[in-house]
Structure 1
Amino acid sequence: MNKIKIDNRNHVQNFGAPYIIAEIGANHNGDMDLAKEMILSAKQCGAHCVKFQSWTPDSLVSKEEYDRNRVYNDSPKKHFGSLREMVNKYTLTNDQHKELKEFCDSHSIQFASSPFSTGEADLLDDLGVPFFKIASMDINNLDFIRYVASKKKPIIISTGMANLSEIEKAVAVCNEVGNKEVILLHCISIYPPDYQDIHLNNITMLQKTFGLPVGFSDHTIGTSIPLASVALGVCIIEKHFTLDKELPGWDHEISADPSELSVICEGSQHINKALGNYKRTVSEAEESKKLKFRRSLVVKQSLNKGHLLTKEDLTAKRPGNQIPPDQIDFVIGRKINQDIGEDEVLKWEYL
């Protein structure tokens, strides 16, 4: 699988160093100062990119759904008012998109967002986002995916709630418009999922099935699961991000805070380096350790010149700088050419 250039500084590929996306989403709570504080914190933690969500009150939710959620009590501790009130509060205007993009540019961190309509895709394209992200909810929205893919930028598709056929169709419509720069994200669209429902092995399955770079969009609590995904070769880790898990809003409770995001950013780099390759390799540092840590043949008691060595005369002790114990068969039955003291390391020149 070739690398996909995701921005001017970063390429992604399976088993490459993961590209870390801090998913701010709507965790800015409609507060631009909070949004900028989150951007700076994500940058400090080591994230490559911050990602928002782009919708309008009319592009995401129907009147029927608004009417059904006049009191949004999915999680009373974290929400307020009706669904319409929250969507209105968390919506970013076009000017706010531009302001956040310019703020990210000035602080050398990538700005991205998930569009939820063609108009928002156009806005993000005009802003020069490095890639497009298709949310799990839109994986079967094929006309929309086709439109976004036609802009010929890398397209990242979350696969939450999708079966293989749906994933295949989403990839196919990208290819139909000549966009081969497709990245899949293994995703479980539960916040948070039970561990037995995460199925990290699907990462390997998606890599083999589609021959595409595969990342992980994580909704678990903590850092262990996204870090575990690095060992399976994910090219991207997307993790919801907040400054305070107690803030009101949709996703703060399941988001990583700065300390957790720092662990994910740093740990993913360490794990990727530690994976190394399939070829058995002994490093120079390890080779030098052999002299100290391994054993050499040692005589158990004083022996006189001319003594014929037997197995009972020998043991093995540190250091490992003389005859190794796996060569004892080349020693037994040979005469020594000088007196050797008790517990002395045997040398080839003594034989």
Structure 2
Amino acid sequence: MNIQLTPGFTVDNFTNPYIIAEIGSNHNGDMDLARKIIDAAVKTGVHAVKFQSWTPQSLIAKEEYKANTVYTDDPKKHWGSLREMVEEYYLREEQHAELNEYCKSKGVDFCSTPFSEEEADLLMELDVPFFKVASMDINNLRLLRYLGNTGKPVILSTGMATMGEIEQAILTVEETGNKNIVLLHCVSVYPPEMETINLRNITTLQQAFGYPVGFSDHTIGSAIPLASIALGACLIEKHFTIDKDLPGWDHMISADPDEMKVITSESENIVTSLGSTRRVISEAEKEKMPKMRRSIVTSRSLKKGEIIQANDILFKRPGTGIAPDQESIVVGRKVIRNIDQDVVLRWDDFE
């Protein structure tokens, strides 16, 4: 099923993937840093940069703030209290508009994940091409209905979700009349263990629901998202930073520019190389056959009138003579001329 994700990009399984650099909160509340990350993302060739749209009120309840007043596990990833980090890192309304305009000037799509209806309204005003739903909201049916009713494509991350919950989310969006849906296989661990990634779930989701399926990646490096493309992933979402040592939640598990460049540059090659399920011999291969295949050659000198025996022949390059699979037709035939040792046999050598 083809989904028009943006005015200039249609996605489907096993087509060139739409690649999103997930900046999220890696801007750390600093608009200069945000612009630097956007610039770096553009240079890697991604199609979009994505942020996250939440406020201290829309995402976290008081109970959670009270439970996380001090972080001690990893000072590089966490500092201060949860409330202090949220206050520092959330994007203000005017900053959304600023980043949207900056992305337009750089020729890259601006998008974001809304965590409430109000934030969805803000993104509608900015005319984002689609809505990305975080894995945590796969069962937030009220938000899904609201996003579905906008008519814009809805990208659903499926981390932590059962097949039943994924089906419920899809039906909720479809009930609004919106069938512009893309699913993302996702493991909501940062980073996940390799044995938990289960990339074959991409195939499972393709077959179960009939929608294009992509991959929201939290692994380190570029190998796993590239592998997902070989399974037909139509969209790759990958956290992105310019410096993995910066403080903040996601810098350490994010791709740097070199890693993202590998993903963008190799993705099209992977799709092209997948080719067809029909067995095809290319013209270039056909041209190689005379040089690389073998022919039947004499293992000794033969005299006119001799009958070819199996031990009279060998198989050597080039492949310009009689093919080895014709051995049974050659053995038992009479030669009509003297033939030296190590000579490629031809059909006109026989009676």
TM category (shorter chain) comes to over 0.9
Q: Kindly indicate whether the alpha-carbon contact (under 8 Å) linking 2:76 and 2:246 is maintained by their aligned counterparts in 1.
A: no
Runs of 4+ in 1 over 3 A off after TM superposition: none
Q: Give the 5 Å matches for 1:1-351.
A: 2-351=1-350
TM-score, scaled relative to structure 1: 0.97
Amino acid at match of 1:106: S
Amino acid at match of 1:261: M
SS, match of residue 6 in structure 1: strand
Amino acid at match of 1:147: Y
SS, match of residue 215 in structure 1: strand
The sequence identity of aligned pairs, in percent, is 57
Amino acid at match of 1:298: V
For the structure 1 residues 133 and 74, does the alpha-carbon distance in structure 2 shift closer, same or farther, using more than 3 Å as the test? farther
Q: Which segment is superposed worse, 134-143 or 268-277? A: 268-277
Q: Which segment is superposed worse, 21-30 or 302-311? A: 302-311
Deviation for aligned residue 1:53: 0.3
Deviation for aligned residue 1:74: 4.8
Deviations 1:70-121 (A, max 9, x none): 2134532222211111111111122211111111111111111000111111
SS, match of residue 143 in structure 2: helix
Deviation for aligned residue 1:229: 1.1
What CA RMSD, in Å, does the superposition of the two structures yield over aligned residues? 1.2
Q: Kindly indicate whether the alpha-carbon contact (under 8 Å) linking 1:156 and 1:183 is maintained by their aligned counterparts in 2.
A: yes
Amino acid at match of 2:315: A
Deviation for aligned residue 1:164: 1.2
Deviation for aligned residue 1:55: 1.0
For the structure 1 residues 124 and 74, does the alpha-carbon distance in structure 2 shift closer, same or farther, using more than 3 Å as the test? farther
Determine the C-alpha separation between the residues in 2 that align with 1:213 and 1:162: 17
Determine the C-alpha separation between the residues in 1 that align with 2:317 and 2:144: 65
Determine the C-alpha separation between the residues in 2 that align with 1:77 and 1:90: 15
Q: Kindly indicate whether the alpha-carbon contact (under 8 Å) linking 2:156 and 2:183 is maintained by their aligned counterparts in 1.
A: yes
Determine the C-alpha separation between the residues in 2 that align with 1:54 and 1:72: 24
Determine the C-alpha separation between the residues in 2 that align with 1:342 and 1:41: 66
Deviations 1:14-72 (A, max 9, x none): 11111111100000111111111111111111211110001112111112212221213
For the structure 1 residues 106 and 210, does the alpha-carbon distance in structure 2 shift closer, same or farther, using more than 3 Å as the test? same
Amino acid at match of 2:58: S
Amino acid at match of 2:214: G
Determine the C-alpha separation between the residues in 2 that align with 1:284 and 1:339: 37
Deviations 1:226-249 (A, max 9, x none): 111112111111110011110000
Determine the C-alpha separation between the residues in 1 that align with 2:150 and 2:305: 86
Q: Kindly indicate whether the alpha-carbon contact (under 8 Å) linking 2:297 and 2:314 is maintained by their aligned counterparts in 1.
A: yes
Deviation for aligned residue 1:341: 1.4
Determine the C-alpha separation between the residues in 2 that align with 1:287 and 1:187: 42
SS, match of residue 261 in structure 2: helix
Determine the C-alpha separation between the residues in 2 that align with 1:138 and 1:23: 17
Deviation for aligned residue 1:285: 0.8
Deviation for aligned residue 1:162: 0.9
Deviation for aligned residue 1:305: 2.3
Deviation for aligned residue 1:178: 0.4
Q: Kindly indicate whether the alpha-carbon contact (under 8 Å) linking 1:78 and 1:246 is maintained by their aligned counterparts in 2.
A: no
Determine the C-alpha separation between the residues in 1 that align with 2:94 and 2:282: 54
Amino acid at match of 1:92: L
Deviation for aligned residue 1:267: 2.3
Determine the C-alpha separation between the residues in 1 that align with 2:193 and 2:74: 18
Which consecutive residues of structure 1, in runs of 5 or more, have no partner in the other structure? none
Determine the C-alpha separation between the residues in 2 that align with 1:162 and 1:169: 10
Q: Kindly indicate whether the alpha-carbon contact (under 8 Å) linking 1:302 and 1:342 is maintained by their aligned counterparts in 2.
A: yes
Q: Kindly indicate whether the alpha-carbon contact (under 8 Å) linking 1:53 and 1:113 is maintained by their aligned counterparts in 2.
A: yes
Determine the C-alpha separation between the residues in 1 that align with 2:348 and 2:165: 73
SS, match of residue 204 in structure 1: helix
